Structures are given as C-alpha cells and as structure tokens.
C-alpha cells in the first residue's frame, strides 16, 4: 500500500498547499477519521521543525513530541481538532483549533492548558453495569456513571494524565461555540437559537457575535467551548 496521498484530493482541513507537488504523506490509522492530518505535515509544513520524513522520525524517536500527553513515534499518526501538541524540549505547547476555511491551525497555549483536551460528545449509550459510554468527536470513548448529566452535543475537558473529566460545557442557547466546518469554520459566537428540524434533517444553529454579523450553520459543525479556547491562554 502506498504511503502517499495526492495533494489535490486531501480533505479541506489539511494545512497543505495543493499545487506545489503531486503527493504528500498519507495519514495512518488512528483518531479523527479521514480528517486527521499526519503528524509529519504538522512538523514539516506547518512548524518547519523537520525538512523531510527522516528528520521527523529522528525527532520523534527522542520522545520529545507529545500528543494529548503521550509520546508519539509514528510520523503518520493523525492529528485533529482540539488535540494538544507538546514539544517538551522546546517548551512549546499548542492546541489544534479550526482556522479560516476549515483548515486546522495551531494556537499557542501555556503548560497548564496543555494538561487536558476538549472533546465534543457525539454519542451516548448505556452499557452493561448501568454506566454510560460517551463517544467523542475524535473516536475516543469514556465510561461515566449514569447519574451524570452529559448529553450528545455537550463538550467536556478530559485530563491527559488520568482521563478524568475536569470541565463540562452544555450545548444550549447562550453557550459559546466555534464552527469547525462549513463556510463559517473558525468563527466564534454564542448560540442564539437552536432550530429543531423535523425528521432526519440536521438541526440549524443561529449564532450571534458581538463583533460580527453572526452566522447560521448545522448542528454537526458547532462545538461548545469556553473563552480559554478562543486564543492564547497566556
């Protein structure tokens, strides 16, 4: 199987130039599905920390590159929305955040903020024993007690070290959200109205902005955040 991916057919979220060459690296198996960006692209094309795959492999073998608190040695490991990247030797920390046009971008954060990551709850199912399993946007699953009030559409912040939930943001009118896909990807505002659509069609979300005209998008494209996720935490 080829280790290459044609640049013209990569997902819109990948931060690569499409016409500078024919191929780029293919993402390996892992979180975020087909939208996951190979770590090599982040190291080489976004940050400029490596010129080629060989240099990236050397750097990763030093165990100085962490994603969500875990040392990564595979340059094809997918990186996606709200992942935390830590470069311990450089003392640099980043959160993956939606940029203009839906491209993934890196937001510098402080070391404390790098100790946990945000996840959007996309599924909630009951499992044996009476507990509840939460499925997050990146494919991760968590088991919580049934009496805890988490719902699909809510966001949680999970500690990288122990996997414990340290914050919970409800999906409701008045909540601060960002759009992660569609024409308004990267924009931030407050939910003004959730328009429930009958049948199987997506609900619409109307978002207001203090410094903009606001926007409307589908429910799938919005993620609840708080003010610490909108820019540099320092």
Tokens representing 189?
Answer: 């505002």
Domain harbouring 101, CATH code: 3.10.290.10
Domain harbouring 218, CATH code: 2.30.30.30
Helices (H), the chain: 39-41, 53-60
**Rounded (5°) CA angle 30-31-35:** 105
Tokens representing 96?
Answer: 């993956």
Say if residue 85's pLDDT is above 90.
yes
**188-195 and 92-98 beta bridge pairing:** unpaired
Tokens representing 7?
Answer: 């640049």
- For residue 102, CA distances in Å to 71, 73, 95, 138, 185 come to 27, 27, 15, 16, 5
**pLDDT digits over 117-127, tens only?**
999 999 999 88
What integer is the mean pLDDT of 154-175?
95
pLDDT of 131:
87
- Do 12 and 108 belong together in one domain? yes
Q: What are phi and psi of 176, to 5 degrees?
A: -80, 130
In a domain, 233, yes or no: no
Asked if residues 182 and 218 have their Cβ atoms less than 8 Å apart, the reply is yes
In a domain, 94, yes or no: yes
- Do 62 and 146 belong together in one domain? no
**Rounded (5°) CA angle 214-218-223:** 75
In a domain, 64, yes or no: yes
Say if residue 206's pLDDT is above 90.
yes
Name the pTM for this structure: 0.83
- Do 162 and 61 belong together in one domain? no
- Do 35 and 135 belong together in one domain? no
Query: How many domains, in total, are found in the chain?
Result: 3
Domain harbouring 156, CATH code: 2.40.50.740
What is the residue range of 91's domain? 5-114
Q: Is 159 exposed, middle or buried (0-12, 13-18, 19+ CB in 10 A)?
A: middle
């Amino acid at each position: 199987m080829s280790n290459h991916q044609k640049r013209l057919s990569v997902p819109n979220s990948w931060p690569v130039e499409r016409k500078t060459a024919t191929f780029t690296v293919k993402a390996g198996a892992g979180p975020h599905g087909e939208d996951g960006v190979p770590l090599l692209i982040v190291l080489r094309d976004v940050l400029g920390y490596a010129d080629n795959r060989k240099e990236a492999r050397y750097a990763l073998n030093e165990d100085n590159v962490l994603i969500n608190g875990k040392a990564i040695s595979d340059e094809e490991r997918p990186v996606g929305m709200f992942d935390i990247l830590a470069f311990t030797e450089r003392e640099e920390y980043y959160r993956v955040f939606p940029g203009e046009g839906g491209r993934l971008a890196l937001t510098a954060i402080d070391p404390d903020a790098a100790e946990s990551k945000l996840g959007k709850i996309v599924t909630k199912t009951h499992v044996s024993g009476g507990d509840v399993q939460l499925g997050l946007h990146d494919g991760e699953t968590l088991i919580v007690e049934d009496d805890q009030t988490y719902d699909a559409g809510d966001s949680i912040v999970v500690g990288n070290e122990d996997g414990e939930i340290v914050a919970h943001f409800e999906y409701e009118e008045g909540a601060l959200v960002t759009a992660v896909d569609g024409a308004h990807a990267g924009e931030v505002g407050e939910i003004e109205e959730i328009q429930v659509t009958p049948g199987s069609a997506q609900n619409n979300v109307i978002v207001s902005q203090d410094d903009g005209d606001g926007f409307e998008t589908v429910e799938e494209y919005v993620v609840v955040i708080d003010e610490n996720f909108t820019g540099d935490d320092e």
